[in-house]
Amino acid sequence: MPELPEVEVTRRSFAPSIAGARILSAHLGKPLRWPLGLAPQALVGRRVLAVRRRGKYLLVDLSEGLLLLHLGMSGSLRFAPAEGLPAAGPHDHFDLVTTQGVLRLHDPRRFGAVVYAPQGEEDPVARKLLGKLGMEPLEESFAPAAFYQGLQASRTPIKLLLLGGKLVVGVGNIYASEVLFTAGISPLAPANSIGPRRARRLYEAIRSVLAAAVEQGGTTLKDFSNAYGMPGHFQLQAQVYDREGLPCTRCAAPLRRVLQGQRSTFYCSYCQKL
DNA sequence: CTCACGCCCTGCGCGC
DNA sequence: TGCGCGCAGGGCGTGA
């Protein structure tokens, strides 16, 4: 479900509400991708200072240490008052009960994770997860020149390079297809075959597509909603994702699907050049 | 380094 | 209606 825009929309929806809260208790459900790394009771009494994002990770700064949250493929967060909150269901695997509400992770497939890093971002645990991440596409630090250099340094097909997250983070399988369609570049094009002009178009496409998705409250392709259960606005219709055989919105040719790294890529073989 | 692949786990939609 | 299959928005580890 969640790519960068969805994670960011989730973050914005509850970060102000939880900031300053004191942790009253914490509860684990079934095992997630990785163990939490400490007994949940040990979190009691700490304060939640802020919620930040790095790539698709949410970083919950505590008065001591840091929680790294990842939503995996099927995860979602809710933040609600303890009163009236339903009992944890079979797919609710983490509850952080605070003085200002309960943060609950719901994740049927359990590819998500909640990991405690005692030393914050400098912690070995955090470094292992965050250390190799690429540039943040919506930050000022995401520079066209650095992006172009990154493309030149790899022969990998551009779709796979974008998905890999080592050059730029947060572009998941849906937005990778969408961004390449917007830029008019074939997903099969070797990254280093993309010249400066097209690299610049791709750079702009990444920024504009992701920023628009955040503005719209996250793309609602299936069932995304923020931490208050509010869905995205549906304005951002996918141009190519999951539209195999349907007409291209620009040239009406049937859109294609190919497998890259065992994952589906959708594109228009006429509008998107190698 | 890159790549292909397996794997983690559950749910859904499809064809039969 | 029920069943089996393929597929799903992520990402890590392994081995070639």
Q: What is the CATH number of the domain that holds A11?
A: 3.20.190.10
Same domain? A177 vs A217: yes
In a domain, A40, yes or no: yes
Q: Is A93 annotated in some ligand binding site?
A: no
Same domain? A162 vs A242: yes
> Which strand B bases fall within 7 angstroms of a protein CB?
1-11
Which of A12, A200, A201, A263 is an active site residue? A263
Would you call A30 a catalytic residue per the annotation?
Answer: no
Q: Which nucleotide is the nearest neighbour of A7, by CA and C1'?
A: C9
Using the 3D structure, point to which of A79, A103, A130 is the last residue of a domain: A130
Same domain? A38 vs A95: yes
Nearest by Cα to A171 from A80, A55, A61: A55
In this prediction, residue A222 carries a pLDDT of 58
Token pair 């250390």 is found at A131
Same domain? A90 vs A194: no
Looking at the 3D structure of chain A, how many domains does it have? Answer: 2
The single-letter DSSP state of residue A222 is S
Give the CA diameter of chain A.
Answer: 60
Q: Which protein residues, judged by their CB atom, are less than 7 Å from any atom of strand B?
A: A 30-31, 33, 74, 90-91, 108-111, 154-157, 160, 261-262
Q: Is A109 annotated in some ligand binding site?
A: yes
User: How many Å apart are CA A160 and CA A165, to the nearest integer?
Assistant: 9
Distance A190 CA to B15 C1' (A): 37
Would you call A46 a catalytic residue per the annotation?
Answer: no
Same domain? A200 vs A256: yes
In a domain, A24, yes or no: yes
Residue type, A217: G
| Per-residue model confidence as pLDDT tens digits over A194-251 | 999 999 999 999 999 999 989 887 765 556 778 787 776 544 678 999 999 999 999 9
Would you call A166 a catalytic residue per the annotation?
Answer: no
In a domain, A23, yes or no: yes
| Per-residue model confidence as pLDDT tens digits over A19-61 | 999 999 999 999 999 999 999 999 999 999 999 999 999 999 9
Would you call A256 a catalytic residue per the annotation?
Answer: no
Note down the domain range covering A240: 144-267
User: How many Å apart are CA A20 and CA A37, to the nearest integer?
Assistant: 23
Burial class (CB in 10 A: 0-12, 13-18, 19+), A203: buried
Q: Which nucleotide is the nearest neighbour of A110, by CA and C1'?
A: B9
Please report, rounded to a whole number, the percentage of residues in chain A having pLDDT higher than 90. Answer: 81
Query: Distances from the Cα of A185 to the Cαs of A82, A178, A267, in angstroms?
Result: 49, 10, 9
Residue type, A248: C
Using the 3D structure, point to which of A106, A130, A154 is the last residue of a domain: A130
Would you give the distance in Å from CA A40 to the centre of its chain?
Answer: 25
In a domain, A181, yes or no: yes
Please give the protein residue whose CA is closest to the C1' of the nucleotide B8: A111
Same domain? A41 vs A125: yes
For residue A236, the domain's CATH number is 1.10.8.50
| A21 Cβ neighbours under 8 A, 6+ residues apart | A47, A48, A98, A99, A100, A101
Same domain? A78 vs A123: yes
Same domain? A180 vs A64: no
Which of A56, A104, A159, A198 is an active site residue? A56
In a domain, A274, yes or no: no
Same domain? A125 vs A16: yes
Using the 3D structure, point to which of A130, A152, A175 is the last residue of a domain: A130
